[in-house]
Amino acid sequence: MHQTLEVSLFQELEKQPLIDPHSHINPHAAASKNLADLLGYHYYTELAHSAGLAKDQIEGPEIGPKEKVGRLVEKLTDLDNTIQVNWLLEMCRDFFGFTAERLTTDNWEGLYDAAEQKMSQPDWEQQVLQQSKLEKVFLTNDFDDPLEGFDTGVYVPCLRTDDLVFHFTRKEVRNRLAKASGIEAADVTSFRSALGKLFEHFASKGAKACAISLPPSFSPHKVDLGAATSVIRRAAAGQTLTLAEHEMLSSWVFWTLAEFCDEFKLPFDLMIGVNRRVYESGVYQGQDLYDKRVSLIQYKAVLNAFPQVTFPISVLTHMSNQELVSYAWIFPNVVTNGHWWYSNIPAYIHADTLSRLEAVPRNKQIGYYSDMYKLEFGLPKFRMYRRVLARVLAQEFVQDRGWTEEQALTLGRQLLRGNIETIFKI
């Protein structure tokens, strides 16, 4: 019984027009130009490298797109079990009419050419948006992004703040901040003013969120004014900071950003748990991992200090999901946000979706975001989520709790779309 039901719920959810609340789309080149843009996604390069392909075989300016695809395709037989290769096949089938069971050394060239032809159509980007039912896609913009030359009604700006919080000691970041804000951040007052300028700029362009990814060791606290004064001056002067000073500086910037989120009424997306450059010889974007020993208790101070700021929280691991469930259940300003990166596979999405639906108010759950770099990935990624969501709705709600199919669908639609509108005020 519930297998038929699952399919029927899935098909209904497929019809839902979407707002994607987190991506890394470049709005000036949102869609792909060829298969190399798809297979160049770090999931494929890092998995192929992990399975034995040398980094220099796929990275380097001298490798043409078709050559690169050919080399990656050879390695796909070792990866065809992964859900990421499943995304690839779904894209090839849905966008390019690919019909074979696998992408192989025998059939990829024909696909490459057919895909390139289709992707060169002038309205390809619009086709992808329509076929994927994507109405709006949130971006993750550098703080000095001019936010010009694209339709902010479709590509919604978001202020990414990693560099400000963790890399202000780099001269290049200070220069970018000075240029973007028109203010030299040299002390508490001028640094705060510079940050304020960024918020004004982003707000004027319709930004809907501030976002940051955070290492497992970070635990922000309110920094004493005197201490902040001293450490900002030293950093602005290019002096070397101690580890404690670095943390103080990061805390101060983070706290100040939260203050501006409060003032500008912007949700602050926290993406908690990533260690950068753990595998230093890895391919581009395939070097980051984590330490699972992280707790949301590290955010106790900030969650209490900013009751009016909504914090959509993403956790990098399934082991952090129960904390996210519990914190969202207790703190009015904590919202569960999607299924991030290493947890973005059906096994973990299923377990995490189920626990969230059993214990977090339904208006506080953002079901999914794509995290994509190229527009074509929205379709298979959201579809993976919809499959899992349909299964959970069928089993837990219709079968076990006796909900009607329509009640279950209403819940599903709220997770997929409705809550994004209310939480990000769209």
Site for a second copy in 314-343 (CB under 8 A): 317-320, 322-323, 325-332, 342-343
Binding mask 47-66 for a second copy (x = CB under 8 A): x-xxxx--------------
Amino acid at 304: N
Closest CA to 366 of 409, 314, 293, 307: 314
Q: How far is the CB of 76 from a second copy (least distance, A)?
A: 10
Order of all β-strands in the sheet with 155-156: 18-20, 134-138, 155-156
Cα 270 to Cα 336: distance, rounded to the nearest angstrom: 10
**Within 200-239, which residues bind a second copy (CB under 8 A)?**
none
Q: How far is the CB of 39 from a second copy (least distance, A)?
A: 15
Given the complex with a second copy, which of 2 and 170 has the nearer CB atom? 2
- Rg over alpha carbons for the chain, rounded to the nearest Å, is 22
Q: Which residues contact 155 (CB under 8 A, 6 or more apart)?
A: 25, 27, 30, 136, 137, 139
Whether the CB-CB separation of 349 and 339 falls below 8 Å is answered with yes
Whether the CB-CB separation of 258 and 302 falls below 8 Å is answered with yes
Per CB under 8 A, does 345 bind a second copy?
Answer: yes
Bridge partner list, 212:
270
What are the structure tokens assigned to 64, written together? Answer: 């043409």
Q: How far is the CB of 238 from a second copy (least distance, A)?
A: 29
**Within 141-200, which residues bind a second copy (CB under 8 A)?**
none
**Within 395-414, which residues bind a second copy (CB under 8 A)?**
396-397, 400-401, 411
Q: How far is the CB of 148 from a second copy (least distance, A)?
A: 36
Given the complex with a second copy, which of 134 and 258 has the nearer CB atom? 258
Cα 51 to Cα 321: distance, rounded to the nearest angstrom: 29
Number of residues that bind a second copy (CB under 8 A): 72
Given the complex with a second copy, which of 136 and 383 has the nearer CB atom? 383
Q: Say if strands 134-138 and 334-337 run parallel, antiparallel, or are unpaired.
A: unpaired
Cα 31 to Cα 377: distance, rounded to the nearest angstrom: 9
Per CB under 8 A, does 271 bind a second copy?
Answer: no
Please state whether 239 falls in left (phi above 0), alpha (psi between -120 and 50) or beta.
Answer: beta
Q: How far is the CB of 353 from a second copy (least distance, A)?
A: 9
Closest CA to 392 of 99, 86, 81, 5: 5
Given the complex with a second copy, which of 351 and 426 has the nearer CB atom? 351
**Within 90-109, which residues bind a second copy (CB under 8 A)?**
none
Given the complex with a second copy, which of 188 and 409 has the nearer CB atom? 409
H or E element that contains 66: helix 65-75
Q: How far is the CB of 335 from a second copy (least distance, A)?
A: 10
Given the complex with a second copy, which of 110 and 307 has the nearer CB atom? 307
Per CB under 8 A, does 11 bind a second copy?
Answer: no
**Within 354-373, which residues bind a second copy (CB under 8 A)?**
354-355, 357-364
Which of 44, 138, 166, 290 contacts a second copy by CB under 8 A? Answer: 290
Distances (CA, A) of 57 to 63, 135, 255, 283: 8, 37, 44, 11
Which of 220, 286, 312, 418 contacts a second copy by CB under 8 A? Answer: 286
Q: Which residues contact 60 (CB under 8 A, 6 or more apart)?
A: none
Q: How far is the CB of 101 from a second copy (least distance, A)?
A: 8
Per CB under 8 A, does 284 bind a second copy?
Answer: no
Per CB under 8 A, does 8 bind a second copy?
Answer: no
Per CB under 8 A, does 292 bind a second copy?
Answer: yes
Per CB under 8 A, does 257 bind a second copy?
Answer: no
Q: Segment near a second copy (CB under 8 A), from 117-125, 235-243, 282-290, 368-376?
A: 282-290
Cα 21 to Cα 23: distance, rounded to the nearest angstrom: 7
